[in-house]
Amino acid sequence: MWNDLAYLEVTLYKGLGRDVRNALGVVPVAGTDSVDGVAPYWRLALQQYFDDDRHFVELGAFGISASKFPGGVKTVGTDHLVDTGFDVNYQWIADTKRVTSDVVSAHASFVHEDLNLDASQIIDGTNRQDHLSSFQANVSYAFGATYTPTVQYFRTWGSNDAARWGAPTGSPDSAGWIAELNLVPWGKPDSPLNWLNGRLLLQYVAYTQFNGDTAHASDHNAVFINLSFALALNR
């Protein structure tokens, strides 16, 4: 991080061993992809605060390059993927001196992936080359750090390949909307139970397109409910 303005990261990732993946819950380990060598990742971001830190803007780019053995098979070579992405984030805080201040947040990201599938073409009969892109954007408003409604639009599109995507149409194209409400009734300084940080999440996912199909996309709509707690113990 330079001058609270520019952030640069370069990281080398290496795949986990079979025993480690099994211990982490990747079951069954057999048949899962494994990374060949190391996968370099990079991230560049420019950020800036304005108006006594009430406004924050970030513009970023990132990417990764990796070779992998599809299904863990190491006898027919590797697949190679290159991901490149861009993102933008904005946040407005009504009162930076109050932890329960109203907050507006907006985020958007785009990721494009190019795939060279030399190994998968032999093993699974996929295309030799595929591509996949995804876009998502959301905006949320936190009322007093208690109620936070969020609306998100998402879309995924790419090349036609039934063997790769596992879709009957051969298309990965999907799109839709997500409506979400987070409720945090306690855990704030003036809460009667400020040591109990509970969060209730209600989310509805509505598809306008699912794996290339628009006529029956709504059949995949879903509702999610999640309740979680975090305890703060004072000593």
Place of tokens 């599109």: 157
Q: Would you say residue 235 has pLDDT above 90?
A: no
Work out how many domains the chain is built from and give that number. 1
Is 162 inside any structural domain?
Answer: yes
Give residue 40's domain range: 6-231
Is 138 inside any structural domain?
Answer: yes
Residues contacting 105, CB < 8 A, separation 6+? 89, 90, 91, 139, 140, 141, 142
Q: Would you say residue 226 has pLDDT above 90?
A: yes
- Looking at residue 4, its amino acid is D
What is the distance between the terminal CA atoms of the chain, rounded to a whole angstrom?
A: 34
Rounded mean pLDDT of 71-82? Answer: 94
CATH code of the domain covering residue 173: 2.40.170.20
Is 43 inside any structural domain?
Answer: yes
pLDDT in tens, 88-109: 999 999 999 988 899 999 999 9
* Per-residue pLDDT, 147: 95
Is 42 inside any structural domain?
Answer: yes
Rounded mean pLDDT of 196-218? Answer: 94
Three-state DSSP state, 218:
helix
pLDDT in tens, 117-164: 999 999 999 999 999 999 999 999 999 989 999 999 999 999 999 999
Is 1 inside any structural domain?
Answer: no
Is 94 inside any structural domain?
Answer: yes
Residues contacting 106, CB < 8 A, separation 6+? 89, 90, 91, 137, 138, 139, 140
Contact 56, 48 (CB under 8 A): yes
Is 174 inside any structural domain?
Answer: yes
